[in-house]
Amino acid sequence: MDMTLAQMDFATARALYEWQVELGADEAVGDLPVNRYEQEQPAVKASRSAPGAPNPAPQPAAADPVEAAAAAAARAASLEQLATAQSAYDLCDLKKGARNFVFADGNPEARVMIIGEAPGRDEDIEGRPFVGRAGQLLDRMFAAIGLARTAHHPVEAIYITNVMPWRPPQNRDPEPAEIAMMLPFLKRHVELVNPKLVILMGNTPCAAALGQRGILRLRGNWTAAFGKPALPMTHPAYLLRNPAAKREAWADLLEIKARLEDPA
């Protein structure tokens, strides 16, 4: 007949306990099995700090790249300040892989402001926009209508910049997020130069200024960008690959010349 624990005397219960210890049963066993290999869950932290303990400082939210660019550009009261602010901007990853910051070239008092896409290899090395083969063609194109980046008189000068001041890897097209970061700087750039005309050289400037792509469809049609009359044109690099398109580019140059000569 089995004896329950309540019916045992102290000596019997102790002897039974010691016998179980000798067999290795040295821990109390619960109703449910325990997985000893399972990792312990971290203890849930209390929602409130202990009395007298300082509250942890809140972590700052990550900066919005476009808002940070807009704030930096708005503070620039001159082209020198804008160049300093843009070159110090660290939220665009293109900066990490570029050799040089490429801001602008030419006469900032010029009536014509040319906006290109991004620096290429030669521009990244030299730190100036449009200095490679495409840039040399650009100079010849505008020289044909009496304009040059080296001209001192504003009537004969051009001023050149790019949407992106840093070279994208392998000369790839800038991504929409990268263009959005640089757009506040570009808008402020146009405001400070205050040209009479803006020339959008290629798809990237059209995407930035007009929100459109398709340069072969857009070229030759006057529009407005940054509050200025603007003319999309095919990029000189495209003309080097497609010489037959130079005829259309010449027509665009004549449009620019006529617009500059129009007293209205």
Q: What is the pLDDT of residues 196-246, one digit of tens each?
A: 999 999 999 999 999 999 999 999 999 999 999 999 999 999 999 999 999
Residue-level pLDDT at 68: 97
Residue-level pLDDT at 208: 97
What's the CATH number of domain 65-261, 3.30.230.10, 3.40.50.300, 3.40.50.620, 3.40.470.10?
A: 3.40.470.10
Residue-level pLDDT at 19: 58
The full set of domain ranges for the chain reads: 65-261
End-to-end CA distance of the chain: 120
Inform me whether the pLDDT recorded for 42 exceeds 60: no
User: How confident is the model over 121-132, as a mean pLDDT?
Assistant: 97
User: 177 near 239, Cβ under 8 Å?
Assistant: no
* Lowest mean per-residue pLDDT among 32-46, 52-66, 90-104, 138-152: 32-46
User: 224 near 259, Cβ under 8 Å?
Assistant: no
- Token pair in block for residue 142: 């505008």
185 dihedral zone (left: phi>0; alpha: psi -120 to 50; beta): alpha
- Token pair in block for residue 57: 């400082």
Residue scoring higher pLDDT (92 or 41) = 92
Inform me whether the pLDDT recorded for 186 exceeds 60: yes
Summarised one tens digit per residue, pLDDT across range 162-171 is: 999 999 999 9
User: How confident is the model over 184-192, as a mean pLDDT?
Assistant: 98
